[in-house]
Amino acid sequence: MTATSRILKQIAACFVMTILMFSASVQAQNYKLAVLKYNGGGDWYANLTTSVPNLIQFCNNELDAGIVAEQEVVEVGSKELFKFPFVHMTGHGNVIFSNQETENLRKYLLAGGFLHIDDNYGMDQFIRSEIKKVFPEYELAELPFSHPIYHQKFDFKNGLPKVHEHDDKRPEGLGIVHNGRLVLFYSYESDLGDGWESSEVHGDSNEARTKALQMGANLVQYVLMGNDPDKL
C-alpha cells in the first residue's frame, strides 16, 4: 500500500467515525437543540432567554417531539457540536469562523447535522462570506416554495412568514443542499427567532408569533423526522 493510499484510508476511517459519533448522539434520546456561540463580536446570544425554549415547548406540544426542554449552547469549533441534530444561530452583527471552526462545522453538517441561521437584522453582510468558507463548492440559493420544509405539519405555500419589517424586503429562505439533503437553512428578512420570543419581548401579535413558531416547528420536524412522522 502506498503512502497516499494509507493517508486516504485514514481520512475515510476518521470520516466514518465522525458519522457514527453523530448518529450515536442523536439516537441517545431525548433530542436536544442548541444555540451556536461564535466569534467576531456579533451578539450570538440575541433571543437566548425565551426564543428556542419557546420553540421547543411548541414542538413538544404540537409534534410530540420529546425534545429536552432546556436549550444548550455550543461553540462552533467544539466536538460537542456533534451531539445536536439541530443547531440554531442568530444575531445582529459580525461573524468570524476560524479555519478550525470552519472545518469542524463542515464536518458536522456533512455528518448529518443541520444549522438554521436566522438573521436578526444586521448579520447578513457578514454571514454569507462565512457560509462560503464552509461550503466553497456551493452557492447559497433560495429554496422553492414547493420544498418539503414549507410543507410539514404546517403549510406555508408562499414560503417564510414575515415577522418584522426592516427594509421592506420580502423574506427569503435560502439553503445549502449536499447530496440531496438540506444541511443549512438561512432565514433572511423574516426574523423567525424574534417571533419565537415571548409576547412581552417584542409585542408581536399572536398571529405573527404563531406563524413563526409553526415555521420553526416545520424546520425541526423536517430535520428530526424527515418525511416520516413515525421517526419521532
DSSP string, 132-180: HHH-TTS--EEPPTTSGGGBSSSB-TTSS-----SSSPPPEEEEEEETT
- CA pair distance 144, 150, nearest whole angstrom: 9
* Residue of 129, 131, 112, 125 whose CA lies nearest to 176: 131
User: Edge-to-edge, what's the strand order for the sheet holding 86-91?
Assistant: 72-75, 33-37, 86-91, 115-119, 181-188, 172-178, 141-142
Q: Residue 199's pLDDT is what? A: 77
CATH of domain 3-231: 3.40.50.12140
Which three three-digit cell numbers place residue 16? Answer: 466514518
Find the radius of gyration of the CA atoms of the chain: 18
Q: Which regions of the chain are under pLDDT 50?
A: 3-28, 228-232
Report whether 123 contacts 91 (CB < 8 A).
yes
Q: Residue 229's pLDDT is what? A: 45
pLDDT digits (tens, 9 = 90+) for 15-32: 444 444 444 444 435 899
Report whether 126 contacts 194 (CB < 8 A).
no
Q: Residue 23's pLDDT is what? A: 44
Per domain, the residue ranges of the chain are 3-231
Which three three-digit cell numbers place residue 170? Answer: 420580502
Q: Residue 95's pLDDT is what? A: 97
